[in-house]
Amino acid sequence: MTHADGQTGLSDAGRAWSRVRANLRLSAGARLFDQWLAPMSLVEPCDGEDVRLALPSAFMTDWVRNHYAERLVHEFRALLPRVRSVTIETRRATPAPEVLTIAVPAPVAARPAAVAAPLLDLVAATPAVRPPVSEPASFIERPQLDPRYTFDRFVADPSNLVALNAARALAEPGPVRFSPLFIHGGTGQGKSHLMHAIGHAFLDARPDARVLCMSAERFMFDFVAAMRARDTHAFKSRLRGCDLLLIDDLQFIAGKDATQEEFFHTINEIMAAGKRLVISADRAPQALDGVETRILGRMSAGLVADVKMSTLELRRAVLAQRLAELPDAIVPAEVVDMIACRIASSIREVEGALNRVVAYASLTGEVIDLSFAQSVLGDTLRGAQRRVTIDEIQKLVSEHFDIKQIDLLSARRARAVARPRQIAMYLAKRMTTRSLPEIGRKFGGRDHSTVIHAVRRIEELRDTDRDVDGAVRTLIHQLEA
Ligand SMILES: Nc1ncnc2c1ncn2[C@@H]1O[C@H](COP(=O)(O)OP(=O)(O)OP(=O)(O)O)[C@@H](O)[C@H]1O
């Protein structure tokens, strides 16, 4: 219930918001506060449980969400303990509100939670940030699922097909398939998106199911907090009572022995009860140093699937999809293509680049063209621009393996030469925009199928052979420096 203050006319949430703002100003400092936080306003009416805050641009929304989402929940809850969630959304200041209502495209509209916020800006829409822990054991979890991360919004591509199909199968009601599912891959390649999509699909089919989604880091914090409070019972029943448990970024518990002990028992119980389990990490189980073998063994008993570095086609398709969600934005094809080609590191960065261009154009009123986009994305492009050449790759690989560069181009098949050659081809595919035939030509006139074979082989070896994975990581690091 909202109570209005007789003297100030403010609701409980309104008064809490004034205090939260004052606290933020003190802790963030005037400059940061004025730039990012001052433009934020409370969306009224507010029932004091689900708080909504609005910012005038998607860009700002993104920034505040990344840096202040959890903080805002804590600040509000300290003043108003009944606050359940804080949602940060985009609401453009002018013109009048009806212009602000962005059509919610069909796929996302299927989820009522996402539609509930009428001014939802799909690019920057922020999931409600739920309070972290300590719900009573009987509470049916409302999982921390990002409303944007659904299967409908996940673009299928050869680089993610196995993981996507396994994720879909695991989310289907009925017999449990492909559980535990272990999804691994580089940063920003869609692991969390897939996990959340599983959660959404599973809840769509079984709305009363207990689904819990958390990072391994959160698992550790909650567990440590429960131990400190000498009350691990609620923690255990909360985790172990799940129908679907989704744990992101497993690598965080590497080396944390007590947490791993608890984690092992948790996944054991989930699996023994025939419930579903999905885990993600930034590398394959075999390469997760510092994580107990018995945990990794459990993972390997299920399906291990990777999401590989995005292809150019995938980046193009994701951008096209995101643009379709921004009917007001006019972004020429050459700008889209420039972003897809020049930013190859992570899809998160690709999306971020598009958002930034659109946000700047809406703030400055400028028309988007190639030079506008390039000036907005200056630093990002300069970072991404560090153009690696095939020659550079060959030089570095030959130095690393202490062979002659010419050997990489030769017909020699000895493993001491063949493996580095495959690694060099893999890096050329991954770190340059050269096509397969072009790469083949640069390696002594080889066929494009040889390059494909090399890329696949190294991808496989990176999952199973630490030495190869380690060498590739070092080389990538050096090439990116
Ligand atoms: N195949 C895809 N289709 C559509 N969107 C994608 C796809 N892959 C990634 N994305 C988008 O890219 C962004 C980053 O994805 P996500 O957060 O899932 O990456 P991640 O692999 O979990 O990264 P990290 O390990 O850094 O957490 C998200 O906005 C996600 O929606």
Residue 217 CB less than 6 A away from ligand 1: no
Confirm if 283 and 296 have CB atoms less than 8 A apart.
Answer: no
Atom 15 (ligand 1): residue with closest C-alpha?
190
In angstroms, the CA 221 to CA 214 distance is 11
Confirm if 365 and 133 have CB atoms less than 8 A apart.
Answer: no
End-to-end CA distance of the chain: give it in Å, rounded. Answer: 55
Q: What ligand 1 atom has the least distance to the C-alpha of 282?
A: 25
**Beta bridge partner(s), residue 85:** 50
Cα(129) to centroid(ligand 1), Å: 19
Residue 155 CB less than 6 A away from ligand 1: yes
* pLDDT at residue number 116: 25
* pLDDT at residue number 269: 93
In angstroms, the CA 362 to CA 452 distance is 43
Residue 189 CB less than 6 A away from ligand 1: yes
Residue 198 CB less than 6 A away from ligand 1: no
Q: What ligand 1 atom has the least distance to the C-alpha of 154?
A: 3
Q: How far is CA 61 from CA 53, 127, 218, 439, in A?
A: 9, 12, 23, 41
| Residue 302 among known ligand-binding residues | no
Please identify every stretch of the chain with a pLDDT value under 70, giving residue numbers as ranges: 1-9, 28-32, 35, 58-59, 92-143, 382-387, 481
* DSSP assignment of 342-393: H--S-HHHHHHHHHHHHHHHHHH-PPP-HHHHHHHTHHHHHHHH----HHHH
Closest of 200, 13, 208 to residue 113, by C-alpha: 200
Q: What ligand 1 atom has the least distance to the C-alpha of 189?
A: 21
The SS3 call for residue 14 is helix
Confirm if 149 and 116 have CB atoms less than 8 A apart.
Answer: no
In angstroms, the CA 264 to CA 7 distance is 55
Cα(320) to centroid(ligand 1), Å: 15
* pLDDT at residue number 456: 93
Best probe residue, ligand 1, of 145, 164, 192 (max atoms within 8 Å of C-beta): 192
Best probe residue, ligand 1, of 148, 151, 189 (max atoms within 8 Å of C-beta): 189
| Residue 429 among known ligand-binding residues | no
* pLDDT at residue number 424: 96
Supply 234's token pair: 């609620």
In angstroms, the CA 257 to CA 276 distance is 24
Confirm if 259 and 293 have CB atoms less than 8 A apart.
Answer: no
| Residue 57 among known ligand-binding residues | no
Q: What ligand 1 atom has the least distance to the C-alpha of 156?
A: 1
Atom 28 (ligand 1): residue with closest C-alpha?
348
Q: What ligand 1 atom has the least distance to the C-alpha of 195?
A: 18
Atom 26 (ligand 1): residue with closest C-alpha?
187
Q: What is the pLDDT of residues 357-383, one digit of tens each?
A: 999 998 888 999 999 999 998 877 766
Cα(124) to centroid(ligand 1), Å: 14
How many CB atoms are located within 10 Å of the residue 90 CB?
A: 24
Confirm if 191 and 315 have CB atoms less than 8 A apart.
Answer: no
* pLDDT at residue number 70: 74
In angstroms, the CA 448 to CA 437 distance is 5
**Beta bridge partner(s), residue 244:** 211, 276
